[in-house]
């Protein structure tokens, strides 16, 4: 995960980590390389710039030039800032409702249906949760089918209404069905499109209004780099969502989305998807991710 970024940051910090003399000049040089590494990983220019400025301020504040182990201190400062940038503490999902309603949003192909299954499976394994999956993509019968296949695989009921073209009504009916049948979590999978468009946004906003979810999650493919951040912004403007799910982190992603999203929409990344299988779900811990990136 993020091998390229790890390698470049390691290289950038190498001089300071070594035993060479630490000077203001090579601190500046190092930060320039850190910035370049972030930009190469698809981190937005402004974010990369303010990141290195903060690291510089901290480094000067902590007198990095005069400490005994300046290299280690610099690595620590960069790691702390990276953790902060990705969200600080891990954020859980709100499951206080009965049932707790979780609405999935995102573009087509981002991994919504797969993640809906993963989350249902994850919660089901917690024993106290009985999830219901809801298929609200009325445009693509294949998507409804896909959710049924997933549900069968993990042993979770899937609610769908054949012939009903009104996703708002389906979502409402599903919540009523959950109440009647003792399901305490309702995960609503919705229709996405290939790009942000008004109809999709209006539809998801209407579903959101109708079922007042405890959690609205935005699912995004981390492979889409800076686009992931732009899409997040567009969905957040409409839904004011609660958290982000970053999928496909097992692929050849450069990491920019994971690093940038929190600072652009100010919403935490809650889970990551690390494969196609139902078990490939992890709670997102910013500090663990920073540890991973900085080796």
- Applying CB under 6 A, the residues found at the interface with ligand GDP are 106, 108-114, 192, 247-248, 250-251, 273-276, 280
Q: Choose among 185, 83, 166: nearest CA to 126.
A: 185
What's the min distance (Å) between Cβ of 162 and ligand GDP? 19
DSSP H helical ranges for the chain: 3-17, 24-40, 45-61, 70-85, 112-124, 141-154, 167-180, 198-211, 226-239, 256-265, 286-294
Q: At what angle do helices 256-265 and 45-61 cross, to 10 degrees?
A: 90
Token pair 């409402």: residue: 172
54 is in an annotated binding site: no
What's the min distance (Å) between Cβ of 232 and ligand GDP? 14
What's the min distance (Å) between Cβ of 144 and ligand GDP? 11
What's the min distance (Å) between Cβ of 185 and ligand GDP? 19
250 is in an annotated binding site: yes
CB 81 within 8 A of CB 185: no
Q: Choose among 94, 270, 104: nearest CA to 171.
A: 104
37 is in an annotated binding site: no
225 is in an annotated binding site: no
Question: Which residue, 30 or 247, is less far from ligand GDP as judged by CB?
Answer: 247
CB 255 within 8 A of CB 223: no
Question: Which residue, 83 or 110, is less far from ligand GDP as judged by CB?
Answer: 110
Question: Which residue, 100 or 247, is less far from ligand GDP as judged by CB?
Answer: 247
282 is in an annotated binding site: no
212 is in an annotated binding site: no
Name the residue with the smallest CB distance to ligand GDP. Answer: 273
What's the min distance (Å) between Cβ of 230 and ligand GDP? 17
Question: Which residue, 16 or 188, is less far from ligand GDP as judged by CB?
Answer: 188
Q: 187 to each of 98, 168, 195, 235, 254, how far by Cα in Å?
A: 13, 14, 23, 18, 30
Which residues belong to the annotated binding site for GTP? 106-113, 189-193, 247-250
Which residues belong to the annotated binding site? 106-113, 189-193, 247-250
């Amino acid at each position: 995960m993020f091998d390229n970024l790890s390698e470049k940051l390691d290289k950038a910090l190498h001089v300071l980590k070594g035993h060479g003399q630490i000077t203001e000049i090579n601190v500046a040089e190092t930060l320039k390389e850190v910035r370049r590494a972030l930009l190469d990983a698809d981190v937005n220019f402004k974010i990369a710039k303010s990141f290195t400025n903060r690291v510089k301020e901290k480094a000067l504040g902590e007198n990095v030039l005069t400490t005994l182990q300046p290299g280690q201190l610099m690595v620590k400062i960069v790691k702390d800032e990276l953790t902060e940038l990705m969200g600080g503490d891990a954020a859980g999902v709100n499951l206080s409702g009965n049932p707790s309603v979780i609405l999935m949003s995102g573009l087509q192909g981002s991994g919504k249906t797969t993640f809906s299954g993963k989350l249902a499976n994850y919660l089901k394994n917690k024993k106290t949760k009985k999830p219901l999956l809801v298929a609200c993509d009325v445009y693509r019968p294949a998507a409804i089918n896909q959710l049924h296949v997933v549900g069968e695989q993990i042993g979770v009921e899937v609610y769908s209404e054949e012939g009903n073209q009104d996703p708002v009504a389906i979502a409402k009916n599903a919540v009523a069905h959950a109440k009647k049948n003792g399901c305490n979590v309702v995960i609503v999978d919705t229709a996405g499109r290939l790009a942000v468009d008004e109809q999709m946004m209006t539809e998801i906003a209407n579903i959101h209004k109708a079922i007042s979810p405890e959690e609205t999650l935005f699912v995004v493919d981390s492979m889409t780099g800076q686009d992931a951040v732009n899409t997040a912004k567009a969905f957040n403007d409409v839904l004011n969502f609660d958290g982000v799910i970053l999928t496909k982190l097992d692929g050849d992603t450069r990491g920019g989305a994971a690093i940038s999203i929190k600072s652009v929409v100010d919403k935490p990344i809650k889970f990551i998807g690390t494969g196609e299988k139902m078990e490939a779900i992890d709670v997102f811990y910013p500090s663990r991710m920073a540890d991973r990136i900085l080796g």
